[in-house]
Each structure stands twice: as C-alpha cells, then as structure tokens.
Amino acid sequence: MTEPRYLTDSTARQFEATVERALDDRVVLDATLFYPEGGGQPADQGTLTTDDGRWRVVDVQKNDTVYHELDPVGETEGLPAVGTTVTGDLDWERRHAHMRYHTAQHLLSALLLTEFDAPTVGNQLTTEYARLDAGYDRFTDEDLARIESRMNDLVAEERPVEWYTMDRAEAEASLDPERTRIDLLPASIDELRIVEVGGPTGGSGDDDVYDRTACAGTHVANTAEVGDVTVTGRATQGSGKERVTFELE
Ligand SMILES: [Zn+2]
C-alpha cells in the first residue's frame, strides 16, 4: 500500500519514494504526496525524476492503491523501473489553488448549513473557481451578498484549520451527523479523517470551533490563506437544489 503523505503534510512539495509497480503508463510508489482525484478535488500534477529519466505526472487515481499516470519528457522512454528511487515534485501553484478552494468550500458548506439550513449535496473545484450544490429553494441576491460577506469574515478571522484521524465509533458518538455525514461513508471505513475549522485567532477556545467534517482532501492551515472570496452566481439544479459558484482572488 502507498503511504498517502498528502493526507498528513499539506506543505511539502517534494518527496522521494521507491517504485513498487510499473504497468502500461502508470506507476505505484511506496509513498506519495500526489493527491488522487476525489471528493470534488482534481488530481495533483507534477514530475517524477530519476538519475536517467524524467516524467510528467499527468493524472493520479486511487483504486486499490494510488496510480500515477506518467508521460515521458524529452529523451526518456518507458517507465522508471521497479525498485528505482524517484524524486516527486508537485505542481505547487495548482495544488495550492486546490487547497485554498477546498478550504473555502468547507467554510461555505458550514455557513450554508448554519445560516440557511442548506446541506451540501455536491461540490467541484478547479484552480479557477469552485461550485457547491446545496439543498435549498432559491438564493436571492441579498442571500448571495450575505454569503460572500460571511465567507470573507471567516477568512479575516484567521481561523486555524486542522486535520486528524478519529475512530468511526467515536466520531459517530461525538460529532454532528448532519455536518460530518458519516452515514454516507462505506461501512468498511473504520477510521475517519476529520477536518476542523477552529475559532477566530484570539478567540476563547473550543466553543468557537466553526466546523468539523470528515474529509480526505487537502486544505490550507489557516483561513487567512484562502484570500478574498467573490460569489459569482447561482443556478437552480432542479427542484430544491441550488448551485453557488465562487472565485478566489
Ligand atoms: Zn475537505
């Protein structure tokens, strides 16, 4: 199994790993920082380099384990051999944009639930914009202005964002089921990764925690890193479902 270092370290951009399997145009490594597409967050891209070759990582998918799809650069042919040590470098601009958008999406999900009683039912982010689908009848222009203003408040409050694992039974007993949606996770998952948006910097502590959600994506460590949020629009997605789109500066 590949050690998923993208789950623990959101600041590292480079890593070394050993090729465990090579098949067609894909390799499996013993560890990786490359995030595999999932949860509305696109796959990371970047490069793998060895002493005598270089490959672009064009896609990363997780099935039984994490597969890196490679495209040889220049004179390089084939794939790095099994047992070879490779250096992986993330396309950091892309990843960091995904982390900012993903964190902003947590803020939006939490505030729509708290202030509009609108649960998130879907989301997709890119490096340029993000959209979120929520169970709600119709957001007015005033609603959208309020949502934008509240998201920017949460950014300005410089709230810490932390992630940790929690036993599923403990999570089910102690977390708000409407937020964490543990019921949607496969029964085989017995340990959850919780992402927590904390209280404002200078606040009074645990009572100020804004959101706790089960999530396996990548996030920035403080809401300040999200930057200015602009809500760019809404559209109906059928009865009782609204899509909100937003962009970050
Ligand atoms: Zn997340």
Domains and CATH numbers, the chain: 13-90 (2.40.30.130), 95-248 (3.30.980.10)
In this predicted model, what pLDDT tens digit does every residue of 147-192 receive, in sequence order? 999 999 999 999 999 999 999 888 888 887 777 777 777 788 888 9
d(CA 180, CA 106): 11
- CA 179 to ligand 1 centroid distance, Å: 12
- CA 109 to ligand 1 centroid distance, Å: 10
- For the chain, give the percent of residues with pLDDT over 70: 98
Tell me the three state secondary structure of residue 220. Answer: coil
- CA 81 to ligand 1 centroid distance, Å: 34
d(CA 55, CA 45): 11
- CA 198 to ligand 1 centroid distance, Å: 14
Cβ-based neighbours of 49, under 8 Å, separated by 6 or more: 55, 86, 87, 89
In this predicted model, what pLDDT tens digit does every residue of 13-27 receive, in sequence order? 999 999 999 999 999
- CA 40 to ligand 1 centroid distance, Å: 9
Cβ-based neighbours of 185, under 8 Å, separated by 6 or more: 168, 192, 214
Closest C-alpha to 90, from 218, 201, 216 = 218
- CA 105 to ligand 1 centroid distance, Å: 8
